[in-house]
Chain A
Amino acid sequence: DAKTTQPNSMESNEEEPVHLPCNHSTISGTDYIHWYRQLPSQGPEYVIHGLTSNVNNRMASLAIAEDRKSSTLILHRATLRDAAVYYCILRAVYSGAGSYQLTFGKGTKLSVIP
């Protein structure tokens, strides 16, 4: 499976934009890039996903490099509620065994400073 690399931790000031990087240099052409986050003492929650084009939703934006070897999750205005561990995950588009579950790394722990 293609792997992702993320910084262990990042800090942001409240109400400032946050850019969370993810490297996935061995990504294949049919891998989708998914982001989940896990707030303290909760299960992970879906944030956003994309394939090639940049994506926006109510929670965040996803910027994907042209060569797809890296991506950046953008929180436009960090709030204290955004303090969480953010996971960048690749999901393969094929129907074989192992293709349906999420493979989590250690993620990036984001701290938001008031």
Chain B
Amino acid sequence: GAGVSQTPSNKVTEKGKYVELRCDPISGHTALYWYRQSLGQGPEFLIYFQGTGAADDSGLPNDRFFAVRPEGSVSTLKIQRTERGDSAVYLCASSPNRDQYNEQFFGPGTRLTVL
């Protein structure tokens, strides 16, 4: 079946611009996660959704970052006034529910480059 998909695969933008990154989770998965991965580092947690609500947004670095999941399926990560330090690969993952035993299924990521 279809896995987690993310669009675009690459995004180049200029400092100060607004960007949106999209995640399509596996159908029926209620839990959705966003992570950010800088070069040479492991992924770093940003935000977790259970259904439509953000159950934990403690990983968002500041108020320029925001994410939504209005219908409990597709999620969009929004970054305002982008900075060069936001350049990274943004990963989305989903799992059937929030059970800690469940594996998370990751998408291929969106590589964001801020010039």
Interface residues of A (CB under 8 A from B): 32, 34, 41-46, 49, 85, 87, 91-93, 97-107
Interface size classification for chain B: 20 to 34
Dominant SS among interface residues on chain A: loop
A43: chain B residues within 8 A (beta carbon)? 4, 91, 93, 106-109
> Measured between alpha carbons, how far is A106 from B43 in the docked complex, in Å?
9
Q: Is the CB of A100 within 8 A of B100?
A: yes
A100 and B42 contact, CB distance less than 8 A: no
Q: Which residues of A contact B31 (CB under 8 A)?
A: 100
B58 within 8 A of A: yes
| B100 in complex: contacting residue of A44, A92, A97, A105, CB < 8 Å | A92
**Contact between chains at B56 and A97 (CB < 8 Å):** yes
Give Cα distance in the complex from A42 to B59, angstroms. Answer: 22
Give the Cβ gap from A57 to chain B, nearest Cβ, in Å.
11
Query: B98 contacts A44, CB within 8 Å?
Result: no
Does B41 sit at the interface, judged by CB under 8 A?
yes
